[in-house]
Amino acid sequence: MRPPSPAPHPRDEFACRVGRPCFVVARAPGRVNLIGEHTDYNEGFVLPMALEQSTWVAAAPRDDGHIRVVATDLDDERTWSMQDWSAARYPAWTRYIAGVAELLHRRGARLDGADVLIRSEVPVGGGLSSSAALEVATALALGTIGDRVLGATELADLCRSAEHEFAQVPCGIMDQYVSVLAQAGCAFLLDCRTRTWEHIPLDLHGHTVLVVNSGVHHALAASEYALRQQQCRDAVAFFRQRDPRVRALRDVSADLVRQHAGDMDRVLAARARHVTTENERTLAAAAALRRGDLAEFGRLMSESHRSLRDDYQVSCPELDRLVEIVGAVPGVLGVRMTGGGFGGCVVAIARDDSIAAVEAAVHEKYDATGDGPAHVIQTRPGAGAAIEVSGV
């Protein structure tokens, strides 16, 4: 991961690459989920934090119905007519921009085209929500151009719709909500049913949040993600037959799953066990954070990993290996896979004086079978999305 916003400023890069001044620069962060995995689409609880690394979008209006995008990291540039974009004809990354533009247009933005420059500090395909960061920064920038600045939850919901409708990823609400609403220095506890949240100060008292990228791209993620959602719906149907008030696994306790484990499908019972225990762990982790009990927080993280590995089965050998390597270093309080799974990153809480040992252990013991060596990244909770420059 590169350091935040390397020079030149996206505003200047826009002027240089597009040949005229930009009108707005927006920034939206990626995220790492501390705990609460695969609970958001079950109307449960999540506890992510925003990264300090963001995606930046600089833009200026056009009046010819075309969107031209310069993607600096990909060294790619594309232009399409807003009437005429189609997923089949343009690279995958354009769907986030085309989707957000179309949804803003449907909500009354006066958008008749735009020049857009994108620069991202969030690694793509690492499970750190680079797509949510791109959607949110684009929505802020194009919304400003189109004179349609959305409220925070409206913005997050629009970006999630873009992901569903245009990228065909049936994700939950966590990534877009934390990218929009995070506060620097805080973890973000979100109740995905009521859509209410709490900023919990992440006081780490001599500890650091570490993110280690396995280098494995989550190739299976899309099909397995949809399958897990279906299995959760099937588990809900089982419990609803017994209690019509059950609308989501949020309404089921871990105890109830335990009681019924013998009379339900074995796989569904395991999926429901993960979701219900993970909801309990997330609330317990939030409570531990509020009272400064980092040891308990770390223990819950490690338990979360075992549940994701054994009951929800969304880990992979590389993630398990990293968890094992990092978890064995003295001073590491807890470690787990983070994000959708099947690749991407692990997240750990480690004592500051053990970071060098974590780096050495990963370097010596982890065989990078994916795209390259695993990097240990030290992170702090960053701020949510913002318009950085407007009316230039």
Binding site for ligand GLA (CB under 6 A): 37-38, 40-41, 171-172, 174-175, 339-340
Please, which residue, 74 or 169, has the CB nearer to ligand GLA?
A: 169
175 is catalytic: yes
User: What are the C-alpha distances in Å from 126 to residues 239, 275, 316?
Assistant: 35, 23, 14
Interaxial angle between packed helices 317-327 and 355-365, expressed in degrees from 0 to 180 and rounded to the nearest 10: 140
Least separation in angstroms between CB 136 and ligand GLA: 13
With helix as H, strand as E and coil as C, how does the chain read?
CCCCCCCCCHHHHHHHHHCCCCCEEEEEEEEEEEECCCCHHHCCEEEEEEEEEEEEEEEEECCCCEEEEEECCCCEEEEEECCCCCCCCCCCCHHHHHHHHHHHHHCCCCCCCEEEEEEECCCCCCCCCHHHHHHHHHHHHHHHHCCCCCCHHHHHHHHHHHHHHCCCCCCCCHHHHHHHHCCCCEEEEEECCCCEEEEEECCCCCEEEEEEECCCCCCCHHHHHHHHHHHHHHHHHHHHHHCCCCCCHHHCCHHHHHHHHHHCCHHHHHHHHHHHHHHHHHHHHHHHHHCCCHHHHHHHHHHHHHHHHHCCCCCCHHHHHHHHHHHCCCCEEEEEEECCCCCCEEEEEEEHHHHHHHHHHHHHHCCCCCCCCCCEEEECCCCCCEEEEECC
- Looking at 40, 115, 157, 175, which residue is catalytic? 175
Least separation in angstroms between CB 314 and ligand GLA: 8
Phi, psi of 256 (to 5 degrees): -65, -40
Least separation in angstroms between CB 308 and ligand GLA: 9
β-pair partners for 57: 26, 118
Please, which residue, 38 or 148, has the CB nearer to ligand GLA?
A: 38
Q: Is 354 exposed, middle or buried (0-12, 13-18, 19+ CB in 10 A)?
A: buried
Please, which residue, 171 or 202, has the CB nearer to ligand GLA?
A: 171
Least separation in angstroms between CB 40 and ligand GLA: 5
Least separation in angstroms between CB 37 and ligand GLA: 4
Least separation in angstroms between CB 131 and ligand GLA: 8
One-letter amino acid of 271 = R
Please, which residue, 40 or 135, has the CB nearer to ligand GLA?
A: 40
Return the structure tokens found at 182: 């995070």
Please, which residue, 146 or 172, has the CB nearer to ligand GLA?
A: 172
Please, which residue, 113 or 126, has the CB nearer to ligand GLA?
A: 126
Least separation in angstroms between CB 132 and ligand GLA: 7
Please, which residue, 190 or 209, has the CB nearer to ligand GLA?
A: 190
Question: Which residues are identified as catalytic?
Answer: 175
